[in-house]
Structures are given as structure tokens and as C-alpha cells.
Amino acid sequence: SRASDEMGYSLPKRVSQYVFLVPGDSAQSATFLFSSVEIIRLGNSFYIDWDRKMYYPLNDTPAQARTTTLNEELGQIKYIFSDKTGTLTQNIMVFSKCSVNKRSYGDVLDVLGYKAELGEKTEPVDFSFNPLADPNFTFWDTGLLEAVKLGDPHVHEFFRLLSLCHTVMSEEKNPGELYYKAQSPDEGALVTAARNFGFVFRSRTPKTITVQELGQPVTYQLLAILDFNNVRKRMSVIVRNHEGQIRLYCKGADTILLERLHPGNQELYNVTTDHLNEYAGEGLRTLVLAYRDLEESYYTSWAERLQRARTISEGREDRVARLYEEVENDMVLLGATAIEDKLQQGVPETIALLTLANIKIWVLTGDKQETAVNIGYSCKMLTDEMTEVFIITGHTVLEVRQELRKAREKMMDSSRSVGNGFTYPEKVAASNLTSVLEAVAGEYALVINGHSLAHALEADMELEFLETACACKAVICCRVTPLQKAQVVELVKKYKKAVTLAIGDGANDVSMIKTAHIGVGISGQEGIQAVLASDYSFSQFKFLQRLLLVHGRWSYLRMCKFLCYFFYKNFAFTMVHFWFGFFCGFSAQTVYDQYFITLYNIVYTSLPVLAMGVFDQDVPEHRSLEYPKLYEPGQLNLLFNKREFFICIAQGIYTSVFMFFIPYGVFSDNSHLADYQSFAVTVATSLVIVVSVQIGLDTGFWTAINHFFIWGSLAIYFAILFAMHSDGLFQLFPNQFRFVGNAQNTLAQPAVWLTIALTTVICIIPVVAFRFLKLDLKPELSDTVRYTQLVRKKQKTQHRCMGRVGRVGSRRSGYAFSHQEGFGELIMSGKNMRLSSLALSSFSGRPSTSWIETLRKKKSTGGDSS
């Protein structure tokens, strides 16, 4: 696993350096340890696969554990890195608004022309005039349709661009029934919008595009497709119309396209920019549209140079990119689109729970600042109660450094009142800056743009950025590329001793998912690339709370309890040999029978500890979600560390001392029990009973299987013990089983059973006393939760008895990071025309009004009803 190999966080990985400290047969102990670990991991993985509460019926997708080696690391997550589109949002794109020729369309207007709220009586736009309209498409502003019918040339050109500049494939199964297969949901939404407003994309060939414009079929000659990639953040097509005019149509991210426009018509530029800011403030994904007319002679020359550049093997991509840059300049602004992508259900509640569990969530998105901040407030990552939200927008290294330092100074200034009189420079010199910053008073958030992040990730500034970001409760990185997502995750992994988790749904999230210790894929609208690269997958972001707070925490708890018990029982078993060595001259004579040594780990003590490792839980699942602070012991690695390891060793040594010397003292004073074999049977029986009682004390959740395995293991021990000392085995194997009747005679002596009982009591009483004192003097949160649960059960019982007595919210490119490079070349080559419909289908792929209060009420209500 990535967590174990890179960070050393895998519990069995850390234990491998301890297991050979176990005296005796360390090879057998190691074999049993790692085989048991894999069985426990497999069982916990099945729990994830079988969890019906993580099943999403709308697309028939269950949760899936694609690995069995990371379950316990799910209980130690400190940082979550999340994509936004398709991960926090539904990735179901709806054409919501647009700006054409200085006018914004999409708002519902009242009779006076002012914006009005969408009500039940509001009627959507009637597209019955268009027989090819998509019946599922809804738009509320009739003004845009009126502009189309009145022949507004700007509006016509706007929708003409949307119907031509794309890589969508069209399929007409029945006459008049069009089906679009789009590589990204937002591109499909734009083409569907053009279709409903009368500009219907009908079909394409490698060299032509056929569009039905207001009922009239028009075929355009497709001259070139300038494909999308993550650097260009735009896409263009060059077409020739029936009049012979050559025109380039381009759509892309506003930050890229606005700087490539012709300097004329500044008023249109300013109004469109205002509309883009307005759309982004509403959390909509925006896109800018522009065009450019090309002269025949210029296009011929440019096409020849492009053809030559594509045939050159060395530096071909750079040459082609420069030619794309050349032609995509001096364009005329057409307008902008705004697409709505709503939050998934349960996202605010999930983020609130994870935040209460002391998990820091960083959103790495391609959105611009305004859109990202709006979504941050919608999903409750950002709140009005925060002390301050720092926004880093510097364009140079010096500006970014100054903004980061100002943010750190403000955080330190707010905590100076509790700083014991130290000033900011004195504090930095006196202690580690990171630890000081993470202890600042107040809640802060950091929002940083992609161009600023590029400077912040440089080697001489990355630590300053990390220190500032880690001191914040929430971090949002805007306009980042897939490479920058991976770099941010790598930075945290490099300097923070913490387990990281990345979650995303698209191909652009694969690098981030692979870089993090644990990768989670959302199976949504953008295909299964993220799922295939992930360790765990499901359909909704809200399932992450169950994956971490329930399955992850239980897996960590079970693995830690298993490991503690493993070392305890093996030291208790093997250290008896050490004490026996002082009386046998260290002659390698063993205390136990050779068959007992072989069967101790394999038969007598294997099943009970496996049952605990698979079934144990400290509190029920709904309590794990009701009390997120229960997750913190895993983050702090409190349940199994060097201290806990040596405590287990000490307990095992303590047990072995009394396990040996109490029977030794009894046998020394009793002439009837002076033989070696009787002593071996007494010690072995005491050991099996003591470790069985101990695992009973360690088990927090009893099932029928636990009872069967614990008492069944004891029964098997006595059955095998009596069988090995029976007359039947002696007759079959006289050289192997020579001590006939020894077990029966030894266990028939009352003194032996008193010795066993005394040994068990002395070994167990200190453990019981310590745990009672700890519960009374320093209880853990899980102890308090269990006590609260018992009190509630008693109160419910009393109520039943009494009842019986009584009755007597700047912008985002619409598809900039959900689109992939290469589809333009595929279309122009004509290869895609031979693909089957099944292959083509692979291209496609409510925020809460309150926060903690609503969450607590809902959880408490659910807890009481349960």
C-alpha cells in the first residue's frame, strides 16, 4: 500500500520490525501474524462491499473496496483532497443563463422587468415549435427564444457556435429522435441548448457538420479542429459555410479567451465581464464564446504550415501549439454561457462531520475564485463565523510571498493575547513555526488561485505555503491543473506525518488519486478512469463519512486490538521458557509438550482473536457518526504505538512470571505432583485459560461467533490434550505419545485446579483493576459514549414501564477540465465513425440551511429513535 510504503503508517508494516523480538519460534509467529492480518483485512473489506447504506440505487452502484491493504489507514486520515465538479456536485449540467450582445438571459422577470423568484406558477419556455427539441430541457426566460424568432444576428451566431464547436456525436435511432453522446456533460448541455433554440446538430463526417438551423438543413465544411487540452483551456473549429466564408469558432475559459479578443468594442467586453462575475457569484460554471473571420489566402498558408508542423517529429507539439496560438487571436466576442451544477445531497452534512472529526478538507478545483468561494459557502467549508478568509491572488513570486506572510502575521496577531508575552518574531525563534501556527486561536480559510499556486509550490516557498495552509481550517485551490493537484498532495505528504486521502471522479483527478496515500473514486458522469485508479469507490460524496468514521475507525480499532493481544499472548507463552531455563541449565528443554507448541498459535488461540479482529466494535455505527471526535485516536495513533507495544510486552512478561512460578512453587511442595509432564500440563492449561479470559475482557462487542470460538477453543484444547494422553494414540504411535493417562491423572488433582485458578486470578485481577480505575478516573470518549448508551436504554425501559402503568452559494469554464484532448483528431480522421454505439456511450460518461445545529438535532433524533 502507498501508505505503508511511503509513510510507514500501515500497522502490520510497523509491527514487522517488532515481531522478531518475540522469543521462541519467531518465524511461526510472523507467519501467523501476517496471515491473520490478511484475513482480518479481507473481512473488513467485505463489510464495505456489503454496506447497503453506501449503495446508490439510482445508478445501481454499491461501494467497492478495490484493495484489502488500506482498511486500517482509513481510520487515520488527517487530510482530504477533493475535486469539486462531479465529486461535491452532481455533474449533471443544466444550461442556466447566457450573455449575448450585452444582455443577460435566464432570469425570471416580473411584469415590470425586474428579477423574480422561480415559483410554482412560473411557466417554462415553450419549445413546441421545434419538433427536434429535447423534452427534458427547461429554460425560464422567454426573451431568448423571442430573440431567436426575431432573427437577432448575434443570438443566431451564438447558437450557431454552440452547434458547431464541439466533439459531440449524434445518433438518430428513429426519425426525429436525436441522441447525443458527449465526452463531457457540460458540452452535451451546450449542444442540447442550441438544439432546443432551433440550431440542431444533426450529424457529422470527418469533413462536414450538418446543422438544422430553424428548420433549414445547412452543411458546413469542417476544415480543422483545434483540440482542447489542460494548457490551452479552449477549443476551436474552423468551418466554411455555403457562401465560401471561412470562420473560426472558439469557446473556452474566460481567463484565456478574454485576452485574445480584438481590442475594439470595450463596452461589450465590460458588460460581458460583469455578467461573468454575476454568474460566478451564483456558483455557475462559465464559458466565453468568440469567433474570427479568416481570409482564404491566410487560411491556406496557415493550413500548409500546420500540415508541415504535424509531420515534423522533433518539437511537433510546440510547433502546433504556436500555430494554434497564432490563429486564435483578434477574435470577436460573442457572449458567455453559464451552466448549473448542483451540490450532491448530503455534502454539507458530510463536510461538517469530517471537520468535527479533526479532518482538514482541501478542495482542488478548476473553478475560478468567485465560483469556488460560492461553492465553499454552499457546502459549509466556509462559514460566516470564520475569523477571516485569506485570498491569495499574487501574480509574482514576491506578491505571493508577501500575501502569505501577511496571512500568517494576522493569525499570529489574533493569538498574541495567549502567547505568553512573546511577539511574532520571538515566537518563531522560540519554537517551530508550524506547530505555533496550528495552535492559533480562531478559524481561518485560505483561497489561492492557480497562477499564485504555481509560485507557492516553488522550492523556496513551498514551506511557507504549507505552514499557512495547514493553519487554516479549510483550503480551496482554484484554477488548478491536474499536475498542480498532484503537487499539492505531494507537498503535504512530504512534510506532514499524516495519512492523506484524495477523492475525485474524472480523468483529471487520476494523478491526485494516485499521489495520495488512499485514493477514492466517484463513479459518476465522467467515466470510470478515477474508479480504476482508486483504492475505494462509490457513487456519492456523502458515503465518505461512513467509509472513514465507521468502516475506517472500526478497522483501525480491530487491527490495533488484534496486534496488542497477539504480542501479549505470545510473550506470555514464550517467556515461560526463559524462566524455565534457569532450572534446566538453559539446555533447550521446553516447558510445554511439542504438540502444544505447534498448536498454540494455529488452533488454541487463533479463532478467538480472528473473531475479535473481524467483528469487534466499541460503539455502534450511529454513535460513530453522532460523535465524530471518536475518530481522533486513529489520527494521533494512540491505540498502537511503541508505548502500547511495550505495555503489551510488560503484561505478557508479568503473566509468564506467575504462569511459571506459581505452579513451580506448588509442585515443589507436593510429592504427588513432582513430575515434569504434570507440570507441563498445568502450565499449558493455565496459559490457555488466562489468554482466553483476557480476550474475553478485550472483546467489546459479543456475537455468537465470539462465544463459539472462545469456548470452542477451550473445548478443543481439552479434547486434544486428553486424546494425546490416551491409550488409543499410544497403541498407534507408541514412540510419540508415551505418557499415557498423564493429563487425566494431573487434572484429577484438586491442587492442580486450585493452582490454575490462583494463576488465572493473579494474572487477570490487575488488568481488571486497572481498567476499572481508568474508567472511573480518566475515561475515554468511547467509554463515555457506551455509558451514555446504557443510561438511555435504562431510561427507555423505565418509560415503557411507566407507560403501561399509566394506561391502566470569478467564474468557471464550462468544460475546461472535464474535456479531454484527442477527440478532435479522432473526428477528423474518421475512425470514430466506425465505432459502435456501445463504444460511443463510453464517451459520456441541497445544501443545508444550517450547520452543526441541524446536524446535531438530526443525529440526536435518529439516536433516540434507535
Quick one: which of 676, 530, 682, 691 has its CA closest to 612?
691
pLDDT of residue 710: 95
CA dist., res. 701 & res. 557, Å (int): 12
Average of per-residue pLDDT across 758-764 = 95
Distance of alpha carbon 338 from alpha carbon 662, whole angstroms: 81
Q: How far apart are CA 202 and CA 553, in angstroms?
A: 53
pLDDT: which is higher, 586 or 514: 514
Q: Is the dihedral of CA 467, 473, 479, 481 positive or negative?
A: positive
How high is the pLDDT of residue 13? 55
Report residue 847's pLDDT band, with 50, 70 and 90 as the boundaries: very low
Binned at pLDDT 50, 70 and 90, residue 732 comes out as confident
pLDDT at 512 over 90: yes
**C-alpha triplet 206, 211, 214: angle, nearest 5°:** 175
Pick 334 or 118 by higher pLDDT: 334
359-397 confidence digits (pLDDT tens):
999 999 887 777 788 888 888 888 878 888 999 989 899
Residue 10 has pLDDT above 70, yes or no: no
Rounded to an integer, the average pLDDT of 470-486 is 91
pLDDT above 90 as % of the chain? 52
Which residues, 6+ apart, have CB-to-CB distance to 862 below 8 Å? 622, 626
- For residue 125, the 8-state DSSP code is P
Residue with cell 432573427: 151
- Is 675 a known active-site residue? no
Residues 6+ apart with CB under 8 A from 449: 368, 369, 392, 393, 478, 479
pLDDT beyond 90 at 254: no
The beta-strand segments (E) located in 778-823 are none
Q: Tens of pLDDT along 669-679? A: 766 666 788 89
With beta carbons less than 8 A apart as the criterion, state whether 328 and 248 touch. yes
pLDDT of residue 845: 38
Average pLDDT over residues 174-191: 86
Instruction: Please state the separation of Cα 508 from the chain's center in Å.
Output: 15
Is 563 within 8 Å of 607 (Cβ atoms)? no
Check whether 650 has a pLDDT greater than 90.
yes
What's the 3-state SS for 599-650?
Answer: HHHHHHCHHHHHHHHHHCCCCCHHHHHHCHHHHHHHHCCCCCCHHHHHHHHH
E strand or H helix at 221, and its extent? strand 216-226
pLDDT tens digits, 600-643: 998 999 999 999 999 999 999 999 999 999 999 999 999 998 99
Instruction: Single out the residue of 686, 339, 661 nearest to residue 525, CA to CA.
Output: 339
Residue 110: the pLDDT is: 60
Residue with cell string 455533474: 91
Counting DSSP H helices and E strands in the chain, the numbers are 36, 20
What sign results for the dihedral spanned by CA atoms 488, 492, 493, 495? positive
Residue, of 801 and 759, whose pLDDT is higher: 759
User: Are the beta carbons of 786 and 619 closer than 8 angstroms?
Assistant: yes
- Chain mean pLDDT for the chain: 84
Question: Could you tell me the end-to-end alpha-carbon distance of the chain, in angstroms, rounded to an integer?
Answer: 38
> How far is Cα 142 from Cα 100, in angstroms, rounded to an integer?
14
User: What pLDDT, on the 0 to 100 scale, is given for residue 836?
Assistant: 39
d(CA 596, CA 608): 17
Amino acid letter, residue 409 = E
pLDDT at 415: 63
* pLDDT, tens only, 121-166: 568 889 989 999 998 898 988 899 999 999 999 999 999 999 999 9
pLDDT band at residue 118 under the 50/70/90 scheme:
low
Residue tagged 502567547 (cell numbers) = 419
Continuous segment of H or E residues that includes residue 226: strand 216-226
**Catalytic residue selected from 51, 83, 186, 367:** 83
Amino acid, res. 854: T
CA distance 569 to 757: 18
Question: In b/e form, how buried is each residue of 617-641, taking b as 16+ CB within 10 angstroms?
Answer: bbbbbebbbbbbebbebbbebebbe
At 855 the pLDDT is 45
Using the predicted structure, report yes or no on whether residue 830 has a pLDDT greater than 80.
no
Report the percentage of the chain scoring pLDDT > 70. 83
Q: Is the pLDDT of residue 500 over 80?
A: yes
Structural contact between residues 188 and 92, judged by C-beta atoms closer than 8 angstroms: no
pTM here is 0.77
Closest CA to 469 of 487, 483, 481: 487
By the 8 A CB rule, do 554 and 75 touch? Answer: yes
Q: b/e string for 326-338 if b means 16 or more Cβ within 10 A?
A: ebbeebebbbbbb
Rounded distance between C-alpha atoms, residue 568 and residue 573, angstroms: 9
Q: What is the mean pLDDT of residues 93-122?
A: 75
Closest CA to 618 of 765, 864, 784: 784
Q: Tell how strand 499-504 and strand 518-522 pair up.
A: parallel
Residue 34 has pLDDT above 50, yes or no: yes
Q: What is the mean pLDDT of residues 453-479?
A: 92
Give the pLDDT score at 5: 45
